[in-house]
């Protein structure tokens, strides 16, 4: 759909019947609870996009579902259970038990910290059938416990192991069972000398030095259950999804089949308080860039879950959004950026000499920065068909209106010693849907005006460089990156082949627009834009983000 075409939207106040053949809308309900149609003991009925359970007219809804099989809690094993011969029986594979949870402690028993210190291992016995997947996870354990898990066959051969595939330093292993039989799960603490016993039949054959602490353990031997739900979105709709417990994974798949976003983390930690998107132990959000049915999957877990979904339009109105570019510095409250309150920041002018410029160049520099921000945000969005309602103001030409409704600012000035913030750029929030309209971002100038270094603009200047063009573009791109976050885009992967305005720290020459000749302010400089790119791996997000779409709806006319 062309973004200029206004349409009537059924929003958060209208929630319709779920899983119906045709939608039936109720205007009185804001949040609705629904039960997954696949029965709790079954798997395979809604395990793909093609079989996703369709939800109609979603505003805010909580789906109560189950990833089969639901685990049974069993008591912790008695020491010494540090070998195959002394393994704790789980009951998996006997009767109807297919998954269990239990707890334990690493470091107790005869080989732990009060014993011979050769390392404490906890073994668990499992009966697995061919075609099942054996899952072992210590997610949910204290973050201070650094676990390692291993899987042995009945002869003592180590089949698979995992260190940190779970949350943080915790472990998660999945192993397809090819041959029915008895298997043994070992839970150990991380050790530089060696994680597992040299002889799994001998609980005293560890090498010492292992991490200790309490842990939570899930073991399952069953086909993997995945639950898919489908939500129909129009371009610009903001979809949020959240789960209440760790261990599960959320993924949103576009109508085209590409992954829009996926995570097993609390990825919305920088949402502003004004955002209405759901939050949870695992959460994500996406601004739709295609029309059609988006699949939301819940995977990688076992047992009951509550999935909260929220769909809304961007929180914009007829009043224009204003970006105020502040080049003067002054007393700035940095608490919203993670600082310690009001700090006195220098403006742009003290840094000009570091780039070989003078006070006479300041007006031209500000004009170039402003033109770059305007081109990146406003002009590119207009060319792409968005109905933009955004204006750019600067401290050089306008009264400082920050604090007024619909005014966000970027302070371009200051240094780490003044702010106490150790990053070049930082934004108050990452706000899909632009629910907060009065926020702050900061671009600091000390490191990028240093004499040398990969972050410094001076590294890319020659005697023939157009310094104002290059430095003004680079500053405008840095400001655009932080504004992109305020309007809802997440950091992109700086290692991707093509530079984008949302690139995380790492590809500074690309973000600055340095061309193939390796210098800035030359004829082959690159115009860097908001593009579709994969997420920065440090965010814990997978998939690809259409950054221009994500932000442009946040400053377009409502529709």
Asked if residue 1 is part of any domain, the answer here is no
Alpha-carbon span 315 to 108, nearest angstrom: 55
Q: Are residues 47 and 88 in the same domain?
A: no
Give the full edge-to-edge strand order of the sheet including 72-73. Answer: 72-73, 99-106, 213-222, 133-137, 172-176
Residue 105 is assigned to a structural domain of this protein: yes
Considering only CA atoms, which of 471, 338, 360, 480 is closest in space to residue 416?
338
| CATH number (domain holding residue 507) | 3.40.390
Count up the domains in the chain and report the number: 3
Residues 349 and 423 both lie in one domain: yes
Residues 401 and 534 in one domain: yes
Mark whether 77 and 58 lie in a shared domain.
Answer: no
pLDDT score at 513: 97
- Shared-domain flag, residues 111 and 215: yes
Flag residues of the chain having pLDDT under 70.
1-31
Same domain, 55 and 120: no
- pLDDT at position 31 is 59
CA distances from 80 to 111, 191, 195, 340 (A): 9, 20, 18, 51
431 φ, ψ (degrees, to nearest 5): -125, 75
pLDDT tens readout for residues 134-168: 999 998 899 899 999 999 999 999 999 999 988 88
Q: For residue 196, give its domain range.
A: 72-222
* pTM, rounded to two decimals: 0.87
Classify 42 in phi/psi space as left (phi over 0), alpha (psi -120 to 50) or beta. Answer: beta
Cα–Cα distance measured from residue 254 to residue 232, given in angstroms and rounded to the nearest whole number: 10
C-alpha distance from residue 317 to each of 161, 367, 443, 504, 553 (Å): 54, 29, 28, 30, 11
DSSP conformation letters of 157-200: -EEEEESSSSSTT--EEEEE--S-EEEEEEEEE--SS-SS-SST
**pLDDT of the residue at 150:** 98
Which tokens hold the place of 294?
């988006």
Question: Each residue of 37-55: pLDDT tens digit?
Answer: 998 888 889 999 999 999 9
499 with 484, same domain: the answer is yes
End residue of a domain, out of 265, 291, 312: 312
In terms of domains, do 427 and 523 share one? yes
The Cβ of residue 427 has, within 10 Å, a number of other Cβ atoms equal to 24
In a domain, 86, yes or no: yes
The DSSP element (H or E) to which 382 belongs, if any, is: helix 380-383
């Amino acid at each position: 759909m062309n973004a200029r075409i206004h349409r009537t939207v059924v929003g958060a106040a209208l929630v319709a019947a779920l899983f119906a053949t045709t939608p039936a809308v109720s205007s009185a309900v804001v949040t609705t609870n629904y039960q997954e149609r696949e029965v709790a003991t079954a798997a395979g009925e809604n395990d793909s996009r093609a079989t996703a359970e369709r939800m109609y007219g979603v505003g805010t809804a909580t789906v109560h579902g189950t990833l089969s099989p639901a685990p049974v809690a069993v008591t912790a094993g008695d020491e010494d259970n540090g070998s195959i011969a002394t393994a704790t029986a789980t009951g998996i594979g006997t009767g109807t038990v297919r998954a269990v949870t239990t707890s334990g402690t690493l470091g107790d028993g005869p080989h732990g910290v009060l014993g011979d210190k050769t390392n404490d291992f906890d073994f668990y016995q499992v009966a697995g059938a061919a075609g099942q997947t054996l899952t072992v996870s210590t997610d949910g354990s204290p973050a201070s416990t650094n676990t390692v898990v291993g899987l042995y066959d009945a002869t003592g051969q180590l089949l698979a192991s995992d260190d940190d595939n779970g949350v943080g330093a915790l472990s998660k292993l999945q192993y397809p069972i090819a041959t029915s039989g008895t298997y043994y799960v070992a839970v150990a603490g991380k050790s530089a000398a060696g994680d597992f016993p040299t002889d799994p039949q001998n609980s005293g054959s560890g090498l010492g030095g292992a991490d200790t602490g309490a842990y939570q353990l899930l073991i399952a031997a069953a086909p993997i259950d995945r639950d898919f739900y489908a939500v129909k979105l129009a371009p610009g709709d903001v979809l949020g999804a959240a789960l209440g417990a760790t261990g599960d994974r959320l993924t949103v798949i576009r109508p085209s089949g590409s992954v829009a976003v996926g995570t097993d983390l609390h990825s919305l930690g920088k949402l502003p308080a004004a955002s209405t998107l759901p939050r949870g132990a695992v959460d994500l959000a996406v601004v739709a860039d295609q029309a059609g049915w988006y699949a939301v999957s819940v995977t990688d877990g076992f047992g009951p879950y509550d999935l909260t979904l929220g769909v809304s339009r961007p929180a914009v109105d007829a009043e224009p959004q204003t970006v105020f570019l502040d080049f003067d510095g002054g007393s700035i409250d940095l608490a919203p950026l993670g600082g310690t309150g009001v700090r006195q920041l220098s403006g742009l002018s003290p840094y000009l000499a570091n780039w070989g410029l003078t006070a006479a160049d300041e007006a031209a520099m500000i004009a170039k920065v402003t033109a770059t921000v305007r081109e990146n945000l406003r002009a590119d969005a207009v060319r792409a068909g968005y109905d933009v309602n955004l204006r750019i103001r600067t401290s050089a030409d306008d009264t400082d209106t920050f604090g007024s409704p619909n005014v966000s600012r970027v302070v371009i000035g200051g240094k780490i010693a003044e702010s106490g913030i150790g990053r070049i750029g930082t934004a108050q929030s990452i706000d899909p849907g632009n629910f907060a309209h009065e926020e702050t971002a900061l671009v600091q100038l000390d490191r990028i005006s240093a004499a040398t270094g990969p972050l410094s603009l001076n590294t890319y200047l020659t005697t023939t460089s157009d310094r104002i063009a290059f430095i003004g573009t680079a500053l405008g791109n840095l400001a655009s990156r932080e504004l992109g976050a305020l309007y809802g885009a997440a950091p992109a992967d700086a290692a991707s082949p093509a530079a984008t305005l949302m690139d995380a720290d790492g590809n500074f020459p690309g973000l600055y627009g340095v061309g193939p000749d390796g210098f800035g302010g030359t004829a082959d400089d690159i115009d860097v834009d908001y593009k579709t790119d994969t997420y920065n791996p440090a965010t814990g997000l997978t998939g690809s983000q259409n950054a221009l779409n994500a932000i442009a709806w946040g400053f377009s006319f409502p529709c």
